[in-house]
Structure 1
Amino acid sequence: MISSRPLLIFIGLAALSMTTVFAHPLIEARALPPALDPFYRAPAGFESAAPGTIVRQRTVQTAFLGLIAKPVEAYQLLYRTTAIDGSAIATVTTIFKPSDSKTDRFVSFQTAYDSSARICNPSYNYRLGSVQVDLISSFEQVLLQTYLLEGYIVASSDYEGPDAAFGAGRLAGMGVLDGMRAVSNFYETLGLDNDTPMIVGTGYSGGGIATGWAASLHPTYASELNVRGWSSGGTPANVTGTAVFVDDTTFSGFLPAAFAGLSKDSSYGALLDPVIARLATPYGKAQIAAASVNCAPADLLNFALMSVQDKSFQRLGDQIFYEPTVAAILEDNLMGRNANETPTAPVLLYHASRDEIIPYSNATTLYDTWCRNGADVHFTTFGNGGHLTTEILGLPMAVQFANSAFAGTLSSGCSKDTVLDDTLDPLALGASLEPALVRLINALGTLGEADEHLMGNLGLIKVPAAKGN
């Protein structure tokens, strides 16, 4: 019998709170998907602008699935950033400004969207009237709101760029950094004191790809940014290690999406497309094409327990990751590979030792490498969490890290600790954030210890593909 439990879990997590903070009707107009919205099309001549230059802006109405005590102002900026080959591209960041926001700082929140379809872009998903096909970033809006409740302006970029190049870490890192530049350039409208505000970057899982790479590239690509710290949880530091780890598992659906993302024009398409054309089977090509129009939940359910290393997917079988072009692309996306790509701002890394999606050993290797190269890193191991539960369990620590980073009170050097408690204190961030944490506590109960409830059923049902890539 086909179970509906995993779908209910996804819906339950995404619908932790349906309270709206707006006085106007819930939906005034249907938001256009990025492929149909002219706002996303960069104007002629934008290529000559410096990275981080704002080329278009608008005020938007946002619809959160969480708790916001007061209405927020929301803006979207189309800004110039950089493709893998160094050419100019444009992408969007969404800015949320709470009432009485702090005027000397903002948080860059890299939500996980783990998809190679533009309809999954956070900037679309955040808007009032959007179709909620990307349930991952829908759920993470609850986490984003904890920073708003702390009084921080929060920016969240479409760091995968205009092609939704999932898995291209360097592109994502530059997208984050240029998004920070764009927000800094927008300081007058936001009421910030100047164009050099303090910044903390944060992200988990797929958002950890973007955060980890932004931290890595900050010293060489955007050293002028006043970044005070980075927190990254469940970090996919080694794409190859992650691919081998999740292949032929409940979560193997991430892999066709990664092939799709890495083959986008702004990513490694010029190199990877010929390899896919030569080696992928008709079935493999169909799976990659499907991942280019679906969001992560559909990808996971459609390719669960399948293998990209099987010859039904491509002709090299388990040698595919050794194919020279594929191996070179994966090597280019290995965090810590180059010593000059070591974070100069303090870093918080946290990871579940029982993580079922991102290998724990890859995260500890990143910690060792960055520390050896002189970074200031604290690493927390969650001994009783799974991948999804640790995102929730680690939230208070990530918020407290941001507070300390802005205050300049973080310790230098490298350190580790282990957390065995798998409960969440509703008062961990103070009374004002208690309602949000109570909802996250309910989510922990839904997921079960180490994600056991989700793991028990995910992959047994199919969901319809997203429409309007």
Structure 2
Amino acid sequence: MVALLKVPMRLALLALLGLTVTARPATWSLATRGLVEDPTQDPFYQPPEGFENEAPGAILRTRNVISSFFGLIPNPVEAHQILYRTTAVDGSAISTVTTIFKPWVPKTDRFVSFHTAYDSASINCTPSYQYQLGTPQTSLIASVEMIIIEIYLAMGYIVASPDYEGPDAAFGPGHLEGMGVLDGMRAVSNYHKKLGLDSASPMIVGAGYSGGAIATGWAASLHPTYAPELNVKGWVAGGTPANLTGTLVFIDDTPFSGFIPAAIVGLSAPSAYGAELTPVIDSIITENGREKLDFAATQCAVADLVGFFDQSLFDTDIQTLGAGILQEPTIAKVLADNTMGVDPNDTPTVPMFMYHATQDEIIPYSDADVLVDTWCSRGASVKFTTLEAGGHATSEIIGLPDAISFVKTAFEGKTESGCSRDSKLTDSLNPLALGLNLEPLLVQLVHALTMLGDQDSEMAQNLSVLDKTVST
């Protein structure tokens, strides 16, 4: 954990040294809007009366913001935020925010939709809040992934990063997250004139890793039926949690079990499955279990990992059904509904690149492997790269050059149809993999993520130390 805490200073130095490869024009200036304590106190996040009557993706409110590196150093790019109308699991109207970053010399016919892995059921961890200057940086994952956004910006892409979990920070429900992504794309397209985009139908590529791949995978699945008018050219998903049940069982009673209470809170949110799931949870949860859920509802990912470190959901000290919780009818149905590839109608119709490490210690490789086979059997075009070395965090780096190459190829319309598979046998990365001009950014990303250690086991050790420190 000490290593993790060094990351903000490294990135602050990066920004101070001017290595962000985007220059600030003479007309650029800082806004003076004061930052509120959390999004619940910010009127911008509250939808106007009657917003339910607007179409999904409709713009409800806009503003300019100052984005930053780890809340400390202003990021000298133009940044906008849009409050837009999207859709809850039950089909009702909800609203959420997307943050748009515009480089100074943008490509005006396209944008990247980047789905950061905020992996939390707390509204304070939403990207739109964490990206702003002066925000307490409690969502470390989103902060680190800001460097990936910088890489896309350096390539001239406008980048939109939606709060795809919606107003309740519903972590886990794929349909809600997928619709949040697609409606965010609609909102950016509707905002095209302000952004200088050439048309209301710009080319789009969506990308996300880990928790962000839940949103990406479901957006790809729902695109043909929910938002077929969007000019999506491709999707990139790495470390994909294709099966929530498989992921739950895989990380239970491990250093990463802290994601489980956050997902329970997220799935039980009013905009997700709260009406069905909350009564069941209330009937089986113990006092200790309730404390764990209440904690997860207010914390970001790192704190969640510490708060439920090496604990098991199946412990009757947490809930009274023990191992039988997965067979409880309502819970079983919710988990089944959030398994990618179950419904044949939810099959991507534009090219997709997926990558996953066989030794991923958080998201099971086998579930992603099955999903690829399922989608390919239904006619999808998927390129799947298996990473034979490295763990979950390091794989985000190892797969990044291929992911960015795929984004470029998708925008050029040169992706191949059909399915293909390949493997990478190394966990090393050439710092020049993205080109000389992007080397500083890639090096900083490597520092931020690979310090987790071989197969990311060092992260588990650091969390163990921190857990003992907190407990004493």
Q: What TM-score, normalized by structure 1, do the two folds share? A: 0.94
CA-to-aligned-CA distance 1:310-340 (integer Å, 9 cap, x gap) = 1111000011011000000000000001111
Distance change in 2, residues 1:293/1:464 (3 Å)? farther
Aligned counterparts of 1:443 and 1:138: Cα–Cα separation in 2: 10
- RMSD over aligned CA atoms reads 2.1
Aligned to 2:397: 392
Aligned counterparts of 1:11 and 1:435: Cα–Cα separation in 2: 20
Give the secondary structure class of the aligned counterpart of 2:410. Answer: helix
Residue 137 (str. 1) matches residue 131 (str. 2): no
Match of 1:9 among 3, 27, 47: 3
Match of 1:98 among 84, 100, 103: 103
Distance change in 2, residues 1:25/1:177 (3 Å)? closer
Match of 1:30 among 5, 20, 35: 35
CA-to-aligned-CA distance 1:263-299 (integer Å, 9 cap, x gap) = 1100000001100110111111111111111111100
Return the letter of the residue paired with 2:407.
A
Aligned counterparts of 2:404 and 2:277: Cα–Cα separation in 1: 39
Q: Residues 31 and 124 of structure 1 are in contact (CA less than 8 Å); yes or no, is this contact kept in structure 2?
A: no
Aligned counterparts of 2:460 and 2:310: Cα–Cα separation in 1: 12
Give the secondary structure class of the aligned counterpart of 1:96. Answer: strand
Aligned counterparts of 1:156 and 1:410: Cα–Cα separation in 2: 24
Residue 188 (str. 1) matches residue 193 (str. 2): yes
Aligned to 2:129: 124
Return the letter of the residue paired with 2:375.
W
| Cα offset, 1:423, TM superposition | 1.4
Aligned to 2:387: 382
Give the secondary structure class of the aligned counterpart of 2:208. Answer: strand
Aligned counterparts of 2:318 and 2:99: Cα–Cα separation in 1: 37
| Cα offset, 1:463, TM superposition | 11
Q: Residues 144 and 448 of structure 2 are in contact (CA less than 8 Å); yes or no, is this contact kept in structure 1?
A: no
| Cα offset, 1:380, TM superposition | 0.5
Match of 1:212 among 214, 217, 221: 217
Give the secondary structure class of the aligned counterpart of 2:79. Answer: strand
Give the secondary structure class of the aligned counterpart of 2:463. Answer: coil
Distance change in 2, residues 1:73/1:25 (3 Å)? closer
Aligned counterparts of 1:127 and 1:459: Cα–Cα separation in 2: 31
Give the secondary structure class of the aligned counterpart of 2:69. Answer: coil
Aligned to 1:459: 464
Residue 359 (str. 1) matches residue 396 (str. 2): no
Q: What TM-score, normalized by structure 2, do the two folds share? A: 0.94
Give the secondary structure class of the aligned counterpart of 1:388. Answer: helix
Residue 438 (str. 1) matches residue 448 (str. 2): no
| Cα offset, 1:429, TM superposition | 1.3
Aligned counterparts of 1:92 and 1:459: Cα–Cα separation in 2: 35
Gaps of 5+ in 2: 19-23
Aligned counterparts of 1:70 and 1:25: Cα–Cα separation in 2: 10
Aligned counterparts of 2:465 and 2:260: Cα–Cα separation in 1: 18
Residue 339 (str. 1) matches residue 319 (str. 2): no
Match of 1:268 among 266, 273, 276: 273
Question: Could you tell which deviates more after superposition, 30-39 or 49-58?
Answer: 30-39
| Cα offset, 1:24, TM superposition | 6.8
Aligned to 1:3: none
Distance change in 2, residues 1:14/1:413 (3 Å)? farther
Distance change in 2, residues 1:36/1:464 (3 Å)? farther
CA-to-aligned-CA distance 1:404-442 (integer Å, 9 cap, x gap) = 000011111101111112111121111110111121233
Aligned to 1:323: 328
Residue 84 (str. 1) matches residue 89 (str. 2): yes
Distance change in 2, residues 1:190/1:463 (3 Å)? farther
Gaps of 5+ in 1: 1-5
| Cα offset, 1:456, TM superposition | 2.6
